[in-house]
Chain A
């Protein structure tokens, strides 16, 4: 993997930061994109995960350097949807990968939540599911000689015995 410094120049990184701040400026309770390092450490993390974004981001950074940020963003949005999507994936992806941002959202990532094998499902305990059973079959059948189960609708068996047993 190439060193991060080889990927984009400091000027290109600054250009991307400026553009990203247009999408994610500082608010009362959230940092701006540049404040969480969108042009620096977050950019490196994004490119480590998505090396395919390097070329479009360089092109976008170079375009930004030739004009102002708002015009560049408007150009992307209106006329270059693929590049705009790449830019959005970088900015939004990089932003929500930030530990600072995740902390502010109280989001710990897609954490493991091992199953409690001893937990009795609430829907069995309170008989919510039993009421579905009690309403009877709702499927149709077309096999010769069979009765539509919705019309026969026998009273269903209880889903389970006494949970205390």
Chain B
């Protein structure tokens, strides 16, 4: 079982001063901490969770799926650990996911490691909707390369859905018989597919063991093959001098009379408040935690929350709504195991207006999982027929096609402070309001029709088609968007808050649009780009003295 975080370091040894204070030890915080510590900055990171013992992961044990429905569930409301915070999602069609620990949500992510496409940065220009990013794919490409190395991406260069790029550092994971069967069907249709790129080691890599394809990535990787940043980044960051404080709930970013960030107030595990002074503050608390903290950091100078002169903090929340098709075939493909996404298809990613909507979807192909994954509908109460027949017909003989739609920004989809709920430290909980747009719904509907064509091509004998999945809030994006205009964005092209020159937001909050691919590689690349710029311009930044 996951253990409650310890006060680490002991309270008496808490650091009180930093050049750069980072809030959140997940993907973006870890990337920033490592780079800045290696550049010689005095870095302190505050993380409300603790270190996860990978020996606690149960995926390889008979009770693994059952444990994953509670202790390692990605929904903090389900886990309800004392070190989580509740999320009021009653007005959200999608339930937000996150994991609060060193490594953050990379502890439980699927490790699908995909870049945004060039068109994703130019949605307004190309499709006349949403907004362009102030940066391009080419601006981010060098940082994609670096995070590929740092996370140990396994994949194959040459994907014609992308501009040319170097080989990832590791060869692709096997696509298995499921991937090959799906690839053959896509080939017959003349549709795009490519072996999945995953942040999972296919070979020994920088001290990590290679994947053994148990197919339990999303309940924690006991092998240490998956690139969670508690393995890939934090040991290096700490060795370079970064100080990581666990069990630290940040209540407020403090500011001075000039409107500059001066550090943070955080509560320890006993509820006692502490203050850390910093020259620069980086927020890396995810697309819900970061706006929550900004909105909670109200002052006479910032009465509507910090960095919120645009009114956009917490607005434009984007997810990646998806539907799934469990494809049942007439042979045992051994699909309860394997890892990551076996392959992807971006055949329907780019806009084709003849389809009746703009933007598109990513198709991903995954193993079936174990009995409880197959029996998910039975567990949720929609018990129809004998679950044993259902499981027997699908265990090892099915795979999952997941169709992920691009979600467009909408200011009515938002994160606010809840007026009633709060966490153990008394910090108001976030309240999330989210409804998928008509365009998103149309993307999914049209792609489901195409999935039926695929089912015929793959000679499926049966299929379970889901409604839009509610337990789908893996990707929390857009709630402090990037842009050049302070009136219509929260951070600039270098992830600096327009209103607060020494405050950076380096997590998925800064996304302008969401694309339809898994965002972790982009979150990591953006964070690296932001701190690379911070390092190069540090003398130009106005900081408290």
Given A24-B387, A133-B160, A139-B163; A81-B381 close (CB under 8 Å): yes
Given A85-B381, A96-B371, A156-B158; A138-B395 close (CB under 8 Å): no
Q: In A81-128, which residues have CB < 8 Å from any B CB?
A: 81, 84-85, 88-89, 92-93, 95-97, 102, 105, 107, 109-117, 119, 121-123, 128
Interface string of B144-185 (1 = CB under 8 A from A): 000000000000101011110000000011110000100110
In the complex, identify which listed stretch (B186-194, B228-236, B439-447) lies at the interface while the others stay far away.
Answer: B186-194
A50 to B71, CA, bound (A): 8
B391 touches A96 (CB 8 A): yes
Q: Does A162 contact B (CB under 8 A)?
A: no
A89 touches B66 (CB 8 A): yes
Which residue of chain A has the shortest Cβ distance to B219 in the bound complex? A110
Q: Does A75 contact B (CB under 8 A)?
A: no
Contacts of B346 in A (CB 8 A): 138-139
B60 touches A89 (CB 8 A): no
Q: Does B63 contact A (CB under 8 A)?
A: yes
Interface string of B370-381 (1 = CB under 8 A from A): 111001001111
B66 touches A49 (CB 8 A): yes
A122 to B213, CA, bound (A): 18
Contacts of A52 in B (CB 8 A): 70
Distance (whole angstroms) from the CB of B106 to the closest CB of chain A: 20
Contacts of A119 in B (CB 8 A): 174
Contacts of A122 in B (CB 8 A): 180
Q: Does B118 contact A (CB under 8 A)?
A: yes
A92 to B390, CA, bound (A): 12
Contacts of B60 in A (CB 8 A): 109-112
Contacts of A113 in B (CB 8 A): 212-214, 334, 337-338
Contacts of B53 in A (CB 8 A): none
B160 touches A97 (CB 8 A): no
In the complex, identify which listed stretch (A4-12, A54-62, A64-72, A140-148) lies at the interface while the others stay far away.
Answer: A140-148
Q: Which single member of B66, B158, B383 contacts A97 (CB below 8 Å)?
A: B66
Q: Which single member of A50, A85, A95, A112 contacts B380 (CB below 8 Å)?
A: A85
Which residue of chain B has the shortest Cβ distance to A90 in the bound complex? B66
Which residue of chain B has the shortest Cβ distance to A113 in the bound complex? B213
Distance (whole angstroms) from the CB of B202 to the closest CB of chain A: 6
Interface of B is mostly: loop
Q: Does A165 contact B (CB under 8 A)?
A: no
A49 touches B175 (CB 8 A): no
Q: Does B126 contact A (CB under 8 A)?
A: yes
Contacts of B210 in A (CB 8 A): 114-115
A46 to B118, CA, bound (A): 48
Q: Does A132 contact B (CB under 8 A)?
A: yes
A115 touches B173 (CB 8 A): yes
A64 to B179, CA, bound (A): 47
A115 touches B379 (CB 8 A): no
A48 touches B63 (CB 8 A): yes
Interface string of B522-535 (1 = CB under 8 A from A): 00000000000000
Q: Which of B160, B195, B216, B372 has the most CB of A within 10 A?
A: B160
Q: Which single member of B126, B160, B350 contacts A136 (CB below 8 Å)?
A: B160
Q: How large is the interface on A (under 10, 10 to 19, 20 to 34, 35 or more residues)?
A: 35 or more
Distance (whole angstroms) from the CB of B317 to the closest CB of chain A: 25
A132 touches B192 (CB 8 A): yes
A110 to B162, CA, bound (A): 34
Contacts of B353 in A (CB 8 A): none
Distance (whole angstroms) from the CB of B231 to the closest CB of chain A: 19
Contacts of A85 in B (CB 8 A): 379-381
B118 touches A45 (CB 8 A): no
Distance (whole angstroms) from the CB of B70 to the closest CB of chain A: 6
Given A110-B336, A113-B338; A140-B375 close (CB under 8 Å): no
Contacts of B59 in A (CB 8 A): 110
Interface string of B118-140 (1 = CB under 8 A from A): 11011001100000000011100
A142 to B391, CA, bound (A): 47
Q: Does B62 contact A (CB under 8 A)?
A: yes
Given A105-B392, A107-B371; A157-B158 close (CB under 8 Å): yes
A25 to B480, CA, bound (A): 54
Q: Which single member of B65, B125, B214 contacts A142 (CB below 8 Å)?
A: B125
Q: Which single member of A84, A96, A128, A137 contacts B184 (CB below 8 Å)?
A: A128
A156 to B163, CA, bound (A): 12
B66 touches A110 (CB 8 A): no
A88 to B377, CA, bound (A): 10
Q: Does B347 contact A (CB under 8 A)?
A: yes
Given A49-B63, A93-B66, A143-B118; A138-B175 close (CB under 8 Å): no
Q: Does B215 contact A (CB under 8 A)?
A: yes
Which residue of chain B has the shortest Cβ distance to A53 in the bound complex? B70
Which residue of chain A has the shortest Cβ distance to B213 in the bound complex? A113
Contacts of A112 in B (CB 8 A): 60, 212-214
Contacts of B174 in A (CB 8 A): 115-116, 119, 121
B212 touches A49 (CB 8 A): no
Q: Given A24-B388, A46-B63, A139-B160, 12 more contacts at CB 8 Å?
A: A24-B386, A50-B70, A88-B380, A93-B65, A110-B336, A113-B334, A119-B174, A121-B195, A137-B161, A139-B161, A140-B117, A143-B118
A-B contact pairs, 8 of them (CB 8 A): A96-B65, A96-B370, A96-B371, A96-B372, A109-B62, A113-B337, A115-B213, A143-B118
**Residue positions of B touching A, CB distance < 8 A:** 58-67, 69-70, 117-119, 121-122, 125-126, 136-138, 156, 158, 160-163, 172-175, 180, 183-184, 187, 190, 192-195, 202-203, 210-216, 334, 336-338, 346-347, 349-351, 370-372, 375, 378-381, 383, 386-388, 391-392, 395-396
**Residue positions of A touching B, CB distance < 8 A:** 23-24, 27, 30, 45-46, 48-50, 52, 77, 81, 84-85, 88-89, 92-93, 95-97, 102, 105, 107, 109-117, 119, 121-123, 128-129, 131-133, 135-143, 149, 156-157, 159
